[in-house]
Structure 1
Amino acid sequence: MRQITGVLIGAGARGRFVYGAYANKYPDKLKIVAVAEPDEERRMLAAAEHGLLDSELFESWEQLLVRPRMADIAIVATQDRMHFHPTVRAMELGYDVLLEKPMSPSEDEVIAMIEASRKYGRLLTVCHVLRYTPFWSSIKQLIESDAIGEVVSVQLSENVGYYHIAHSFVRGNWSRAKETSPMILQKSCHDMDILAWLIDEPCTKVSSYGSLKHFRIEKAPEGSTERCLDGCAVERECPYSAIRIYEEAETTDWTRFITHDLTPHGVREAIRTGPFGRCVYRCNNDVVDHQIVNMEFESGTTASFTMSGFSHDISRTVQIMGTRGEIRGCMEKKDIKLYRFGKEPEVISIADEEGGHGGGDEGLMRSFLKQVRSHGNDARPALTSAEVSMQSHLMAFAAEKSRLAGGKSIALTAQLISNQLLNSIG
């Protein structure tokens, strides 16, 4: 099994703790040979983790990709609005590309990346990691085996978790849609992708409602302050207190995302001065904290999706209703029950997998590296190739258009036909 070499573009949370960590865990399968990262501290940490020389470190993707190809693959894990240019340039140089989701907040850029993949003959795989999990793979197999007959309706819920939404989408990097992506694209394109995969036919209509209901200045409790350490009178009662989430929590591991200095002093300093110590009611955030999406597919199958930041845990639950049975499941509990109508319910066993996203992170990496090794000899498309992922991105784009239009139904087929850029990809 040939070791694959890679360049890492973006050494933030996903870059370091998922893709970089995979290389460290399986050095015979993947070796990181260069890193591009503008943050010096992150860049030097990545250098230490992968044994890189100064000549293998770059402050920007432009500095890295001005050079001839240095490796087999490029892993693009930059912020959402910085995906397009390094991805296209990397493919132009001959890299196969693993691209963090979402592909881009721009419809035109999504299509242009697919065109570039075809033009340069390079793999472009999107990190829709849920398809690679034993949980969702088992559900897909049940549907394909006709265990519940024809799928009629699906209900999917993403419970973001009160501490996750406060960290990532109120205080953190994905708090403003125009700087990153709308919530339905950034967080929930995973869910659009799973629905598209399970139902396995074109989505034709989408409508959506949602808003930023809670994390607003007018919701700030009396006695609250600009920062949690400014003498806030309600800090001890507030579930979103930075002190509780980063210093005192026993079940979450969010502290490593706010500082590289994990000493008590370092954590306290990050809360005192950094963005993650701000009051959640006084941040400059504008993405929704709850949203629902209704979808109709080509055969008449329907699906509903609910995203909410107001849940005690981080989890996904699903109910799939067919003409001869029903499937219910909770991803985080690894719980799938099959109800064949008129028969006793069956508990479906799920294999244990290591890694984040229920084993999806490592499953994605194994699949991508295998395809890179066989590139040119395997005609089968990647499970989450860019062309496959386009469907879920268009669903998310349509959902956001509907939400902004007050829930107006968006005809997705008409949208595709009217977009002349699609002509070039068939």
Structure 2
Amino acid sequence: MYGKVGSINLVKQITAVLVGAGARGRFVYGAYANKYPDELKIVAIAEPNEERRQLAAAEHQLMPGQVFESWEQVLSNRKVADIVVISTQDKMHYAPTMRALELGYDVLLEKPMSPSVDEVIAMAHASRKHNRLLSVSHVLRYTPFWSKIKEVIESGIIGTIASVQLSENVGYFHMAHSFVRGNWNKSEETSPMILQKSCHDMDILSWLIDEKCTGISSYGSLLHFRSENAPEGAALRCSEGCAVERECPYSAIRIYEEADTHEWSRFITNDLTPEGIKEAIQKGPFGRCVYHCDNNVVDHQVVNMMFESGATASFTMSGFSHDVSRTVQIMGTLGEIRGYMEKNEIVLYPFGKEAIDILVTAEEGGHGGGDEGLMREFLKQVRNENNNGGQGLTSAEASLQSHLMAFAAEQSRLAGGSSVEIQGLSEQHGHSVCS
């Protein structure tokens, strides 16, 4: 099927099965199909939650026979679309991915690939075995900001990279929402924080330095969001007469009910009326006091990395920042780059010369335009039908090293910061890390 017959360059419309119609499924991948119907059409949905399933079905005008409760039903025995987009929870990635590849689908998979090293390696192998695309949603590579930084590095103007410092400022409200109260608050049920939230950052460091990471050490802990740190008078829920709710920056009432927009409240309820939001705070998990939740993932972590040439990198993840942002400093032998992603600010400092402001064109969409950039490039690959053995900018093979870096960082953290060799970790699981 091709869109806009009257246009000069006809674009083949790609059909998709959406497995998982939660936040990413509906608000990123589903939204892209609605915004660019000539490029992408959702023709089937698998989602166990009935309310989400019906909302997504209505948004894409699907008939009952196109809507399923489980991925097993829609991926039973034959292809019904060109691609499968998998946006389920972390531990639910492996089985539908392997089945989709076996059926001959190209697959776009939410990050992280899996909290299991063996499953990550198996999925990368399966994409090659079946000669299908398996792209991972490392969306930062597709942003104008990081693409421009990569371009400047490759120009040679800063010489050879000696050291990189990258900070991910999670934002105090994002930390409370996703990793204290929300779906990713327990590592045994989802993934460790360094893998779930920061595999983006491991991927960017791997991509920018463009070498094998050889060794990693890491420290981090759950410092603040614990019951012993609850202020005197704190209730179990923000809506239950908490004595400190009005002063607490983590108040669910302030974050969801009194906010100027529904940016965060849309993730706690599908009923965005004042009554619906109030009920979600009173009865749902997002109304709990942040000091009385069942969370165990870290709220801050640092990672130090050594690369093949001797270049080093340091990464800091913190839930204690006023905004959600990333900042980077890249130090080369001939110059330096400093960047602030959310402001699209990049400054180049060639040694001995004047500083240069690098122009970055801002794009719409989440992750600094990376969400739409990822979809655009993946669909181009699918249309070209030139899978090159499953390779691509964020193919499973390309993403494998960054996942191994995250696994090594968590292993080091749990061992008190002792150094972990990437090659040794890889060999334990019968795989040689690709460069």
TM range (shorter): over 0.9
Deviation of 1:253 (Å): 1.0
The 1:105/1:64 distance shift into structure 2, 3 A limit, reads same
What corresponds to 1:400 in structure 2? 410
Cα offset for 1:367?
0.4
1:253 aligns with 2:266: no
Structure 2 counterpart SS, 1:332: helix
- What is the match of residue 397 of structure 2? 387
Aligned to 2:6: none
What is the CA distance between 1:380 and its match in structure 2? 8.9
Matched, 1:300 2:313: no
Match of 1:413 in 2: 423
On the 8 A contact 2:20/2:46 being kept in 1, the answer is yes
Amino acid at match of 1:87: T
Alignment correspondent of 1:39? 49
In structure 2, the residue matched to 1:141 is 151
Alignment counterpart, residue 348 of structure 1, candidates 358, 364, 369: 358
Q: How does 1:244-393 map to 2 (within 5 A)?
A: 244-250=254-260, 253-376=263-386, 381-393=391-403
1:21 is paired with a residue whose SS is: helix
Aligned-partner Cα distance in 1 for 2:218–2:388 = 39
1:221 maps to what in 2? 231
Question: What's the offset of the Cα at 1:417?
Answer: 3.3
Distance in 2 between residues matched to 1:26 and 1:283, nearest whole Å:
40
Output the CA distance in 2 between the equivalents of 1:298 and 1:344.
Answer: 32
* Partner in structure 1 of residue 133 of structure 2: 123
Q: Is the 8 A contact 2:127 2:389 kept in 1?
A: no
The 8 Å contact of residues 133 and 391 in structure 2, kept in 1 or not, is answered as no
In 1, are the aligned partners of 2:134 and 2:390 still within 8 Å (CA)?
no
Provide, for residues 57-108 of structure 1, a one-character-per-residue CA deviation record: whole Å limited to 9, x for no partner.
0001111111411000000000000000000001111110000000000000
Contact 2:180 2:225 in 1 (8 A): yes
Q: C-alpha separation between the residues in 2 aligned to 1:189 and 1:161?
A: 17
Q: Is 2:110 aligned against 1:109?
A: no
Instruction: Report the counterpart of residue 54 of structure 1 in structure 2.
Output: 64
1:173 to 172, 183, 206: 183
Are 1:65 and 2:70 matched, yes or no? no
Equivalence map 1:198-217=2 (5 Å): 198-217=208-227
Question: Secondary structure of the equivalent of 2:164?
Answer: strand
2:86 maps to 76
Cα distance per residue 1:336-386 (max 9 Å; x no partner): 000001111000000121111000000000100000011237679310000
What is the match of residue 170 of structure 2?
160
Assess, with a 3 A threshold, how the Cα gap between structure 1 residues 379 and 286 changes in structure 2: closer, same or farther: closer
What is the CA–CA distance in structure 2 between the aligned matches of 1:251 and 1:304, rounded to whole Å?
35
Q: Is the 8 A contact 1:111 1:422 kept in 2?
A: no
2:108 maps to 1:93? no
Q: CA deviation at 1:411?
A: 1.1
In 2 relative to 1, CA 410–378 (structure 1 residues): closer, same or farther, beyond 3 Å?
closer
Alpha-carbon contact 1:108-1:421 (below 8 Å) kept: no
In the TM superposition, residue 248 of structure 1 has moved relative to its aligned partner by 1.4
Residues 371 and 378, structure 1, Cα contact 8 Å, conserved in 2:
no
- Once residues 231 and 390 of structure 2 are traced to their aligned partners in structure 1, the CA distance between those partners, rounded to angstroms, is 56
Q: Provide Cα deviations, 1:285-311, integer angstroms capped at 9, x if missing partner.
A: 000000000000000000000000000
CA shift in 2, pair 1:226/1:330, >3 Å: same
The TM-score, its normalising length taken from structure 2, stands at: 0.96
TM-score, with normalisation over the residues of structure 1? 0.98
SS in 2 for 1:207: strand
The one-letter amino acid of 1:179's match is E
DSSP 3-state at the match of 1:195: helix
Deviation readout 1:298-340 (Å, 9 max, x if unpaired): 0000000000000000000000001011000000000000000
Q: Which deviates more from structure 2 when the two are superposed, residues 294-303 or residues 113-122? A: 113-122
**How many Å separate the matches in 1 of 2:157 and 2:84?**
40
Aligned to 1:3: 13
Amino acid at match of 1:409: S
* Structure 1: runs of 5+ lacking an equivalent: none
CA RMSD of aligned residues (A): 1.4
Q: Does 1:24 align with 2:40?
A: no
The separation in 2 between residues aligned to 1:295 and 1:376, in whole angstroms, is 35
Structure 2 unaligned blocks of 5 or more: 1-10
Query: Pick from 184, 193, 197: which aligns with 1:183?
Result: 193
Q: Do the aligned partners of 2:140 and 2:367 also contact (CA within 8 Å) in 1?
A: yes
| Equivalences, count | 425
- TM-fit CA distance, 1:416: 2.3
Q: Do the aligned partners of 1:148 and 1:326 also contact (CA within 8 Å) in 2?
A: yes
Return the alpha-carbon distance in structure 2 between the equivalents of residues 97 and 142 of structure 1.
31
Runs (4+) of structure 1 exceeding 4 A deviation are 377-380
Residue identity matched to 1:156: L
Q: Percent identity?
A: 72
Deviation, 1:257, is 0.2
